[in-house]
Each structure stands twice: as structure tokens, then as C-alpha cells.
């Protein structure tokens, strides 16, 4: 579950039109979200509030044997008006969904993915449908965030400032007594030109300097693509460019790299990576595949994530080291359910059923066998060409996430909404130690207003 402040920060990015796809750091965010989801430990309670469109607070109380907690405040210079902050209205997808679809490039439509699906359900998937362009007002907008962990006296601070529509600066700092020099500061400068995005960073910890870059090509980035197919069109449907474009696997390639060098400890690191992800306009099964290589350490990491159905996402990850011959694999799954979570606890509530009208699920046509063989879609008129658009997040009330790795460690997480509380119940199971298989157990409850 994403924390409330994370949700608000994402909303800030959405409101200022920042495209957080376009960074090398999040190249394999989808697989990471599906496989490496955090499991709650102990009991944790979150009380959050977006008091004004500019100001949000969050209090957290947890106990794992000892009681700890945190207080956090957030201030944004631009109003975060069109997001739902109440926990009974927050779209669950925004908090819980791991599969991440690419945004439109270069349009800076300012529509954050999940919010877009909720607020403007009709035209969100099409970048051209966005009405206002907030990029004009986004320059100069600032986000301030601070969080104090109480027993440890650990202080986190984050400043995000959008200097120009293309340039954003982030400054994050941690202060704690046990750290060397009392804390660390990380400065991050992000430059996003749509077709490519680069980042430079500096950390006081070891004097680390870093540079990351991502370059997009193919799909919607190629100059010819908006109106015409990129390749030779199939003979059957040469008449309609729009449909022929979506016929093939329609996605975007991204390639990037990162370099780090610690000026104080004289150590460094680098990696190269590539990603292919289908664009929202693609009508087939959305998929994301990434490959990262660390040539210094001989590490090869490949992930593949697929949104098999709208309610089911799967991901696998393989890692191999050519120097040490160590290998790892992990699989993850996300299964959404529209049954009421804890229904047996809350009892049947027919009113609840009526409040949420069943949305008309868009009928996804099965491809014919012939079409599958030819690696194309069925021929079809330019009728309802908006796929997945009227997706209503409220259709689903809970999600089950599961993962397993090569050590037969299983993580199970059940998240959902019960009344106006968003809960997250997770456990870690180790099948190698069958005498005491449960390694961790936790429940996290979030309420916001």
C-alpha cells in the first residue's frame, strides 16, 4: 500500500504535469511493485488528512513490540483540488495497483494516470483529450514535506521544486544522531524533454555523484507515428491508419543507463537498461519487459510483467551473475477482487451494493485463432476504439498480492477497503522452515479525511 503522503506527492506530480515514467530509476517499477511489495510488520495505524488543498498531515502509530510513530506534514504551493483524499473515496488503484501503464509522452497533459481514470473516465487514455495544460502554471510550484519519527528522533525532509516545465529539483535530507555527520542530503535535478529524461544527483554520503539518463524511441515517440503507421501496414486494413497502428504490438522502447562515483570513498557503479512497454493505446494485453545489465558486476536482470486481465497482473524476474554464477528468480501476482473484503465480518449490506453501480465492463473481443497465428488483431471497424477507458476503480474492493522466490519464501498481502478504512494484511512464509513457517505478520490500517 502506498502511503498517504506518497499518494499526495504523486498527486502533486500529476497536478504539475510531471511525467515520472521518464526516469531511469523507475525503469522496472512495475515488476518491482508486483514482486517486491513491502509486507506490513506488526500493527500500524495511519491517520491522514488533506486539510486544505495545499496542506496535508499524516500521523502514524505502530507497534512491533515497542510503540513507535511518526508525524508528517506536507505543503504544496499549487492546490491539489481534484483528488479524492477521503479514504472511502480514494481510488484503490491509486494506492494499491502495481502494474504501471505508461503515460503519454511530451504532451504534459498533467493527468496523473489513476486520477485521470477516475476524474475523466471518458478520455483519459488519450492524451489529446486532456483539456487543460497545467504546465504553464506548474513552473515555480513547490512541495515541502517533513516527517519526524518519534522514538528515534529521525527527521526526513523533502523539497520538490519545479523550476521550468522541463526542470525539477528535489532535495531530500535525513537527520539522525547515529548517522555519520548527523545526516545525509541528496540533491536530485531532473530534466525531462519527453523524448529523453536525464537526472543528475549528488549525495553528501560519500560524496556520491550520479548521472542517469533515459531515451525513448519507437511507439509514439517516432515523428511519423501520430498519424501514420510506423511500419508497412497490413494489406487488410490499410485504409485506417488508427486501427492499423494498434494492430501490432504497439509500445515504446526506452533505453538508459546510470553512472555513480563516490568522490570520498573512491567507489563507483554503473548499469545499463532497456524496457519495452505497451502504450495505453495498445489493444492487446499490456505488458512490460525490462532488461538491465551491470557490466562491472556481471549482473543481468530481466523482468517481464503482464496485465493478463484487468483484475490479474503477473510478473517474473530472473537474475543471473556471469561472474559468480549466482541466479535468482521470483514471481509475483496481483489478483483483484470485487467481492467485499471481510464481508463475513461486516455482514451483508445491500445498501452498499446499490451505492456502487456496476459499471459496464467494456467487452474485450477475443482474437480469432487465425489472427493470433498471424500476430495481429482481428479486423474490426473503427468503432469503440477506446480500450479500457471506462475502467472504474471502485469496481474492485480488494486485492491479493503474492510472491515467491527461489528460496521458497512466500509473501502474501491482502489489501482492500472495509467501510472507510483501507487495510493491508500481510504475512511472510518460509517454506524451508516448516516448523515455524510464519516469519512475519502485520496489519496496517489507513484512514484519511
Interface positions with other proteins (CB under 8 A): 24-25, 27-28, 154, 156, 158, 172-174, 176, 179, 184-186, 188, 201, 203, 205-206, 208, 210, 212, 258-260, 262, 265, 267-271, 273, 292-294, 296-299, 301, 319, 321, 323-324, 326
Cβ 271 to other proteins shortest distance, Å: 4
With respect to other proteins, which residue has the nearer C-beta, 323 or 344? 323
Instruction: Report whether 304 contacts 330 (CB < 8 A).
Output: no
Shortest gap between Cβ of 178 and other proteins (angstroms)?
Answer: 10
Q: Which is nearer to other proteins, 120 or 299 (CB)?
A: 299
CA diameter of the chain: 69
* Among 117, 101, 105, CA closest to 287: 101
- Which residues are bridge partners to 446 per DSSP? 46, 422
Residue 303 C-alpha cell reads as 523482468
Cell numbers at 8, concatenated: 499526495
To other proteins, the closest distance from the beta carbon of 308 in angstroms equals 25
Residues contacting 281, CB < 8 A, separation 6+: 125, 126, 220, 245, 246, 250, 387
Name which of 69 and 298 has its Cβ closer to other proteins: 298
Rounded to whole angstroms, the Cα distance separating 123 from 286 reads 18
Kindly state the smallest distance separating residue 404's Cβ from other proteins, in Å: 20
In the complex, what is the shortest distance from the CB of residue 7 to other proteins, in angstroms, rounded to a whole number? 17
Task: CB nearer to other proteins: give 187 or 218.
Answer: 187
The closest alpha carbon to 87, from 448, 418, 419, belongs to: 448
97-114 residues labelled b (16+ CB within 10 A) or e (exposed): bbbbbbbbbbbbbbbbbb
For the bound state, the minimum distance from the C-beta of residue 125 to other proteins, rounded and expressed in Å, comes to 27
Residue with cell 529521525: 154
Minimum Å gap between C-beta 172 and other proteins is 5
Q: What is the rounded distance in angstroms from the CA atom of residue 159 to the CA atom of residue 171?
A: 5
Of 136 and 296, CB closest to other proteins: 296
* Alpha-carbon dihedral angle through residues 168, 174, 175, 181, given to the nearest 10 degrees: -90
Strand partners, 448: 48
Distances (CA, A) of 27 to 12, 31, 187, 211: 21, 9, 20, 15
Pick the closer one to other proteins by CB: 77 or 184.
184
Q: How far is the CB of 299 from other proteins (least distance, A)?
A: 4
Nearer to other proteins, 325 or 344 (CB): 325
| Residue 293 C-beta: closest distance to other proteins, Å | 7
The nearer residue to other proteins, 148 or 249, going by C-beta atoms, is: 148
* Residues 78/137, Cβ–Cβ less than 8 Å: yes
CB of 90 to other proteins, least distance (A): 24
Nearest CB to other proteins, comparing residues 319 and 380 = 319
CB nearer other proteins, residue 2 or residue 248:
2
Amino acid at each position: 500500500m502506498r502511503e498517504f503522503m506518497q499518494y499526495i506527492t504523486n498527486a502533486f506530480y500529476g497536478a504539475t504535469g510531471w511525467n515520472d515514467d521518464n526516469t531511469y530509476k523507475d525503469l522496472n517499477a512495475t515488476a518491482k511493485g508486483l514482486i517486491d511489495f513491502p509486507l506490513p510488520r506488526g500493527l500500524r495505524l495511519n491517520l491522514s488528512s488533506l486539510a486544505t488543498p495545499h496542506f496535508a498531515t499524516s500521523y502514524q502509530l505502530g507497534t512491533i513490540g515497542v510503540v513507535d510513530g511518526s508525524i508528517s506534514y506536507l505543503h504544496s504551493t499549487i492546490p491539489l483540488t481534484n483528488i479524492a483524499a477521503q479514504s472511502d473515496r480514494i481510488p484503490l488503484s491509486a494506492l494499491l495497483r502495481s502494474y504501471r501503464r505508461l503515460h503519454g509522452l511530451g504532451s504534459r497533459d498533467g493527468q496523473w494516470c489513476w486520477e485521470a481514470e477516475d476524474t475523466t473516465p471518458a478520455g483519459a487514455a488519450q492524451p489529446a483529450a486532456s483539456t487543460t495544460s497545467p504546465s504553464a502554471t506548474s513552473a515555480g510550484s513547490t512541495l515541502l514535506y517533513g516527517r519526524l519519527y518519534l522514538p528515534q528522533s529521525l527527521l526526513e525532509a523533502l523539497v520538490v521544486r519545479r523550476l521550468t516545465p522541463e526542470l525539477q529539483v528535489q532535495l531530500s535530507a535525513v537527520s539522525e544522531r547515529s548517522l555519520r555527520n548527523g545526516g545525509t542530503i541528496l540533491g536530485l535535478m531532473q530534466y525531462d524533454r519527453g523524448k529523453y529524461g536525464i537526472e543528475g544527483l549528488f549525495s553528501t554520503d560519500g560524496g556520491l555523484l550520479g548521472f542517469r539518463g533515459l531515451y525513448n524511441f519507437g511507439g509514439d515517440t517516432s515523428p511519423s507515428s501520430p498519424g501514420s503507421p510506423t511500419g508497412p501496414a497490413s494489406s487488410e486494413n490499410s485504409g485506417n491508419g488508427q486501427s492499423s497502428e494498434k494492430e501490432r504490438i504497439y509500445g515504446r522502447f526506452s533505453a538508459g543507463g546510470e553512472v555513480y562515483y563516490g568522490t570520498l570513498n573512491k567507489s563507483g557503479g554503473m548499469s545499463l537498461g532497456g524496457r519495452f512497454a505497451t502504450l495505453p493505446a495498445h489493444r492487446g494485453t499490456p505488458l512490460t519487459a525490462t532488461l538491465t545489465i551491470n557490466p562491472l558486476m556481471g549482473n543481468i536482470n530481466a523482468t517481464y510483467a503482464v496485465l493478463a486481465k484487468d483484475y490479474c497482473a503477473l510478473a517474473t524476474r530472473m537474475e543471473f551473475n556471469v561472474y559468480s554464477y549466482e541466479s535468482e528468480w521470483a514471481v509475483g501476482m496481483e489478483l483483484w477482487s470485487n467481492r467485499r473484503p471481510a464481508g463475513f465480518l461486516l455482514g451483508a449490506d445491500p445498501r452498499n451494493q446499490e451505492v456502487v453501480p456496476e459499471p459496464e465492463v467494456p467487452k474485450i473481443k477475443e482474437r480469432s485463432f487465425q489472427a493470433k497465428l498471424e500476430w495481429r488483431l482481428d479486423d474490426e471497424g473503427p468503432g469503440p476504439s477506446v480500450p479500457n477507458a471506462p475502467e472504474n476503480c471502485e469496481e474492485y474492493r480488494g486485492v491479493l498480492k503474492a510472491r515467491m522466490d527461489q528460496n521458497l519464501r512466500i509473501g502474501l498481502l491482502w489489501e482492500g477497503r472495509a467501510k472507510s478504512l483501507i487495510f493491508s494484511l500481510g504475512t511472510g512464509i518460509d517454506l524451508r522452515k516448516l516448523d515455524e513457517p510464519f516469519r512475519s505478520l502485520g496489519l496496517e490500517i489507513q484512514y484519511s479525511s
